[in-house]
Each structure stands twice: as C-alpha cells, then as structure tokens.
Structure 1
Amino acid sequence: MQLNKIKEALKIKRMSQKELSVRLGKSFNMVNLYVSNKVQPPIATLYHIAEILDVDVRELLVSNKNIQ
C-alpha cells in the first residue's frame, strides 16, 4: 500500500534519490526505503523532504479520504 508520493515528487523535480539522500543527511538505503514505501519517514523528516523538494508536505502524502 502506498502511503507517500516521494517517488513521484522526485521525478517531477528531476532529483535523484542519491541527491535527496545527500541533502537530507540520510543514507541512500534509507531514502530508497522511503521512496519505495517500505518504511515511512518520521514527520520531521517528511517536512524536511518537502522543504528540499520545494513542495507542500501534503503533496507527499496519499489522502486517507475517498474524494469523489
């Protein structure tokens, strides 16, 4: 189940996982776990990712509501 959209945001911003890992100060492996939705980043880390990608943090989350 997909809980975050970090992968999509990286693609739109044309940023690699490697670049994000360096700017975030996390290992490539940890960022890869976030991007693949195997591990969810802590809220503070999610905010930092949003800041690096210059997006609203809500754009990195999958809605929990069924919007019609």
Structure 2
Amino acid sequence: MNRIKEVLEEKGIKQTWLAEQLGKSYNMVNGYVQNRQQPRLEVLYEIARILDVEVKDLLIEIKK
C-alpha cells in the first residue's frame, strides 16, 4: 500500500503531470495511485524525487 494519492492531493498535483514526469502512461500511474499495483522500488524513489518528499512519506506502515 502507498500514499501516492494523498501526497498528490496535498501538493495539488495531477496524475497526468506525474505520468509525464515519470515517462509512464496515465494508466500505470493511476494503478499506483489507486493501489491496484505497486511501483518498483526504483520507480518509487523517482516518484519521491519528483514530488520532493522522502520515500517513507509515500509508504503506509503496517504494524503487526
């Protein structure tokens, strides 16, 4: 699970813009945002760089 959707909303950034920055399709980014699929680690780091946040800010901590 990730918090990409929340970070995009907090920053007022559209999924289409993020997709352009990543060089990925809108459908791929929408899959990340809706938690239907998880980005590879390298892509997660790139998303964090583009959004100017720490990678940990994009992750949901799962406590057991």
Q: TM-score, normalised by structure 1?
A: 0.91
Please tell me the root mean square deviation across aligned C-alpha atoms, in Å: 0.8
- Hey, what does 2:9 align to over in structure 1? 11
Q: TM-score, normalised by structure 2?
A: 0.96
**Who wins on radius of gyration, i.e. which is larger?**
1
Runs of 4+ in 1 over 3 A off after TM superposition: none
Provide the rounded CA distance (Å) in 1 between the counterparts of 2:41 and 2:11. 21
Question: In percent, how many aligned pairs have the same letter?
Answer: 52
User: Displacement of 1:13 after TM fit?
Assistant: 1.1
Aligned length: 64
Unmatched segments (≥5 aa) in structure 2 = none
